[in-house]
Amino acid sequence: FLTQTYSERAKVNDNACAKKLLELMDKKKTNLSVAIDVTKKDDIIRIADLLGPYICVLKTHIDIVEDFDMELVETLKQLAQKHEFLIFEDRKFADIGNTVKHQYEGGVYKIASWSDITNAHPIPGEGIIKGLKEVGLPLNRALLLLAEMSSKGTLAKGQYTLDTIEMAKRNTDFVIGFIGQNRIYDNGDNSQDFLYLTPGVGLETKGDSLGQQYRTPHQVIVESGCDIIIVGRGVYGAKDDAEIKERAEKYRKAGWDAYLERIGQSQ
């Protein structure tokens, strides 16, 4: 899959969400996901509308929003349609199946009702997938498992990561891929594969004071074989809207050029 195009991979993917994602990446020429980690509803909406044309996935942390209401997610859904991107609530579920089911479906945020993709830590065992699947599958939602993390000292490594992949392989109707740093597993034929979405991407700095570690789009896409770069502060942390757009275009181009190099189509 390292040399296959996103559109070739879309054709063999039976998960509606993964198929749509791969198709829109190809169409919009972007493998950039932006993490809009800001805390005011109006800022999220403004930045989402601004960045719509540059991104394939809008990543949210809905529980950091101070003035959350359902109108926010309704607006994000409309923007997702207008600009053709998917919404990924980075909820990082980590509890037993019965609990995550409620957290995913209900509560204040009703994540399953608006987020195309969400993610979960495999730490509780396979029940977490089963619980989320009961809610998400009928709604055509998809799940990513956290196989590795970008942060210093992460415990998600070695056998834990390999076991995560085995869990995903048993649930390919709902699990479309991973949050990770490397393409750990590649099935090596032309059947449905996993998507690798990678946070910890930055062009200017190597990390922050709280353990975040950054790599470049080239390292992520070409050297590590991942599919989507997730960038937060590197994009939204600009001084004004014009600079946010400039930065988004810079990361979009860096990610896309890296992809073209990987599939052997760079000029």
CB nearer ligand UP6, residue 232 or residue 255 = 232
Query: Cα–chain-centroid distance for residue 25?
Result: 13
Query: Is residue 37 marked as binding?
Result: yes
Q: Is 63 a catalytic residue?
A: no
Q: Which of 56, 144, 179, 222 binds ligand UP6 (CB under 6 A)?
A: 179
**From the CB of 95, what's the least distance to ligand UP6, in Å?**
18
Query: Is residue 192 marked as binding?
Result: no
Surface-to-core class of residue 59, CB atoms within 10 Å of its CB (0-12 exposed, 13-18 middle, 19+ buried):
buried
**What gap in Å lies between CA 20 and CA 11, rounded to an integer?**
10
**Judged by CB under 6 A, which stretch of 64-72, 126-134, 148-156, 158-166 contacts ligand UP6?**
148-156
Number of residues that bind ligand UP6 (CB under 6 A): 16
232 contacts ligand UP6 (rule: CB under 6 A): yes
212 contacts ligand UP6 (rule: CB under 6 A): yes
97 contacts ligand UP6 (rule: CB under 6 A): no
103 contacts ligand UP6 (rule: CB under 6 A): no
**What gap in Å lies between CA 28 and CA 55, rounded to an integer?**
8
CB nearer ligand UP6, residue 14 or residue 163 = 163
CB nearer ligand UP6, residue 41 or residue 215 = 215
Q: Which of 87, 100, 129, 231 binds ligand UP6 (CB under 6 A)?
A: 231
217 contacts ligand UP6 (rule: CB under 6 A): no
Q: Which residues are catalytic?
A: 90, 92, 95
> Which residues participate in the annotated binding site for substrate?
37, 59, 150, 212, 232-233
- Residues at the contact surface with ligand UP6, assessed by CB under 6 A: 35, 37, 61, 90, 149-151, 179, 199-200, 212, 230-234
